[in-house]
Structure 1
Amino acid sequence: MDLRDYLKVLRTRWFSIAICGLVVLGIAALLTWRATPQYASSARLFVSTQGSTDDAQANQGGQFSVQRVKSYADLLTGQAIARRVIDDLGLEESPSALAGQISASSKLDTVILAVTVTDPDPERARLLSDAVARVFVEYVAELETPPGRDEATIKATIVDPASVPGSPISPQPMRNISLGLLIGLLLGAGVALLRETLDTTIKSTRQLESLVDAPIVGTISFASDAVDTPLITGLDTYAPRAEAFRVLRTNLQFIDPDIERKVFVVTSSLPGEGKTTTAINLALALAEGGERVALVEADLRRPKIAEYLRVESNVGLTTVLIGRLALDDALQPSARAGLTVLTSGSTPPNPAELLKSTSMTNVIASLREQFDIVLIDAPPLLPVTDGALLAAEADGALLVVRHGKTTSDQVTVAVERLEAVGARPVGVIFNMLPPRGGDGYGYGYGYAPEAGAHTETTSSGMRDTDHTSSSTTT
């Protein structure tokens, strides 16, 4: 994936990223609201040696004090100081609990030591901070007094007593909410990219080009009205889906241009990729273009063509293959001039045996002689072998791939199934693309006449377009 792919993932999955951001934001807000406010009160101590008027000794004592300050910072957070404070103030909490409230710090190369105590009560935080500082001064005096002497070599002096804090140090609502939103968005983006990385479904023409050694002859956008109006005959002339099949019809002419009469199998990797409706609409588009087209329903397991085109289904391909009816008698004209349909007929118990029979070879040869183009709607390649067997008898297979559903592995295995029987994919039809996405294809734009235009048929049969408004330049 390159930068463009990453940006595309973020753009297409923005809703899930936003939801993740809002969820983490809500969690951060809830935790902030339920958190107990903590107040911090600090006191500062100055650590010095019992000095001498000699400059060299004073400098040496100062270095010694700096070294001692680092150790004092550790002592302040220990349980020994906490225990003394508890005894001094008569507290009931444990030394370890109080030690957890105490922190100490010192600036580098200084003898200033800061002690801070946090507590939900600001007044108690000040009281504890003062007590810790006072107790620590006494503790240092005890530690630094050599045996047999009355004075300590180092002493700690309180220079800034603790004060009552005016506002809590935690929680910080703005910081927590901002971090929650940022973390949520980053987490959502990470999950989206991970899903995209693990998702092996085909979502771009570049993926298809790397998997199939055949051109992409058509890209069909998904249309919300496809369920109610699956055939292009029910669409407006300028509908994007209808135009997409005209483009497919044009591209089909460049496949094996030296062959005058062509036979193509329309198949897919798995069911549900739209191969049957693609075969029907392609046949309708070819017939609209003046071709003599035969549409054969060779999916003997799940036939659908007769239902879509509203023709007789009881008599068809199986009737011809078992010799009960001549081919010419089984062919049915459709409502579209130029399109002839051979339905499946009765569902047989042995579809694969019928489709690989000599009779099927003869049917294909006979149809090739009578029609300009023969389209065979075949079963999907992965569940059964029927589609591959038919492709071996035809000029090649048109492989239908559904955007966002067909995986790379499925396409690869489908191509292998075709090649195993000596067949080949001659073109790929990328189906159900998002209306406005996908590598410059499948945008679903229409190019209908401008509003206010109407067409009239002249006496010569040509269509003239008049505009009721003034013309504009586009």
Structure 2
Amino acid sequence: MELKSIFAPLWKWRWLILAAGVIAGVISLAISFTQAPQYLSRTTLIIGQSINNPNPSSNQFFLEQQLATIYADMATREPVKLGTMKALGLNWLPPYTVRALPDTQLIEISVTDTDPYRAKAVTEELANQLILSAPTSVNSDEQERQTFINDQLTTLQNDIKSTQDDIEQKKTELGTLSSASQISSTEQQIYALETKLSTLQDTYASLLSSTSKGALNSLTVIEPAQVPGRSISPSKFITSGLAVVVGMLLAAIGIFLLEWLDQSINVPEDVTKIINAQLLGEIPRVPKEENPLSYVNDQPFSPITDSFRSLRNNLEFMDLGKSIKTILVTSPGVSEGKTTVSMNLALSFAKANKRVILIDADFYQSTIKQKFSLQKETGLSDLLLSNRDSISQHLVSLFNGQIYLLPAGKTPPNPSELLSSVSTERIFETLKNAADIVIVDGPPFITSDAFVLSTKVDGVLIVISPGKSRRDILRMAYAQLSRAKAKIVGFVMNGSSQRSAYYSYYHKPRTVTQSTKGNLPTEKSTSTTAPKRIVNPSKKL
């Protein structure tokens, strides 16, 4: 796939993409101005005292990490929440998160709020409530006992230090003694002091274990909460810029999806990607107040009429009327303007002094029969069913003999089989000898009749209606035409956008009176007998 085909939808809908981005940016900016700034306060706690131990064990670290995970989960439970709200006198708490940092004994509490002071207060109280939930927390009843234990620890520390000094002093004196009795007495004193030191140390360790100083299941704040100095909310303009980018990106993705899901043909490039044929003309949309089947005859100076002349010229450049005398006009689907193109193209050739016969070969939905109010029910189907009928008795003169029409006739029960017969080739060959150009208004590709007719004519002209013709049907039809070895002379875009104002200004309209304007002819105002200039009287049709 070419880059041009990828970016073509983006360029086509560029204003929509820009509009989506601008709208998204404006909405984001408006919303950001209505939102209050957010502030983040954070505190960090540590489990146990292993970090202060010069020789911690791996078991202690593992146990403290497990406790950190448990306490982080407890902080999100109702007891901690209710305790925090009660302590602060709040009936709600701002959003907060509590997490145990991976592979550590640390717990991090983060609170987000629009009030920075309230964020700090809630953070501190959450940490305090978590500490109170630990077994080492001290309440008012145990405060006196803890004070006594701390005093005893201080006394024991002094006694231990004093005993250690006495031991050192005795050991120094021992080196200066020479009497055996003095040496023995001093050694006994040293032994007694060492025994006393061991007892003091054991007592100190026992008391210390009953406090939080040496406990593993304890919580300590190592990073107090602070009043946040600036908002954590992103910049309003950065947010709006990102919204613009996201809006444009979503619009581009939506357009790609719509283009991919949309099977309609919109531009000639969509056709040339499917079929190996060239664009022969672009026909603007005929105004609703005009008769589309007689437009070339009614409005000879219109730009739309000139577009049919351009189509006629391009067909003549391709040797139409010489090596190509019969041409099938068809389309991928219904209501795409094939009959309008067939009739006006026939009128264009007739006004160029060409002998033209138009064949209505659409047995299912004959627009010509309805629009021209043909009372005669006979036509192509009768010729195919009866080889004895003369072709000339079924021809209908239109537009004062400018073109002659062979109607479709009654719908046969087996149209495809009839069109596949040798009689079709005989009829087409007879009309080729009687006229300069034979135009066949065939059914659309959704019927098998169109493919049968494509093998009976010299060329196929495909009518594409932008926004209506479907790529999948055209792709299928092209494959079928290729298998039938039908010759596609080109395609025409019917119902394209109007040409420029300068082009329309150049074609000055002439005044047409009601008496001279070519209304839809009826069978009563036409002659069913072919004139000599079209049908050779020496030959029986």
1:54-453, aligned counterparts within 5 Å? 77-80=72-75, 86=81, 89=84, 91=86, 101-102=96-97, 115-119=109-113, 124-134=118-128, 147=209, 151=213, 161-163=225-227, 179=242, 182-213=245-276, 215-223=277-285, 225=287, 228-230=290-292, 231-235=295-299, 237-239=301-303, 241-256=304-319, 259-260=322-323, 262-308=325-371, 313-321=376-384, 322=386, 326-335=390-399, 338-383=402-447, 385-420=448-483, 422-432=484-494, 434-435=496-497, 444-445=499-500, 448=503
- Which whole-Å CA distance do the structure 2 matches of 1:180 and 1:400 have between them? 44
Q: Deviations over 1:414-457 (max 9, x none)?
A: 2344455x45132232334642xxxxxxx7336547579899xx
AA in 1 matched with 2:41: S
1:346 to 1:175, Cα distance in 2 relative to 1, 3 A: same
- 218-227 or 149-158: which moved more? 149-158
List alignment gaps of at least 5 residues for structure 2: 57-64, 138-204, 511-541
TM-score, normalised to structure 2, is: 0.60
Give secondary structure in 2 for the equivalent of 1:189.
helix
AA in 2 matched with 1:9: P
Cα contact 1:75–1:81 (8 A) shared by 2 = no
Q: Deviations over 1:72-120 (max 9, x none)?
A: 9978854259788558646499xxx9796135799xxxxx998531357
List alignment gaps of at least 5 residues for structure 1: 62-69, 107-111, 436-442, 456-474
- 278-287 or 257-266: which moved more? 257-266
1:9 to 1:410, Cα distance in 2 relative to 1, 3 A: same
Larger % of helix: which?
2
Deviation at 1:301, TM superposition (A): 2.1
Cα contact 1:141–1:152 (8 A) shared by 2 = no
Larger % of strand: which?
1
Q: Deviations over 1:19-70 (max 9, x none)?
A: 97799789979998999x68545256799x9999xxxx99x99xxxxxxxx9
AA in 2 matched with 1:130: E
Deviation at 1:295, TM superposition (A): 0.8
1:449 to 1:163, Cα distance in 2 relative to 1, 3 A: closer
1:454 to 1:245, Cα distance in 2 relative to 1, 3 A: closer
Identity of aligned residues (%): 24
Deviation at 1:189, TM superposition (A): 1.7
- Which whole-Å CA distance do the structure 1 matches of 2:319 and 2:508 have between them? 40
Rg (Cα) greater in structure: 2
User: Matched residue pairs, number?
Assistant: 427
Deviation at 1:371, TM superposition (A): 0.9
1:336 to 1:253, Cα distance in 2 relative to 1, 3 A: farther
TM-score, normalised to structure 1, is: 0.68
AA in 2 matched with 1:372: D
- Which whole-Å CA distance do the structure 2 matches of 1:452 and 1:291 have between them? 24
- 264-273 or 315-324: which moved more? 315-324
AA in 1 matched with 2:345: L
Give the aligned CA root-mean-square deviation in angstroms: 5.3
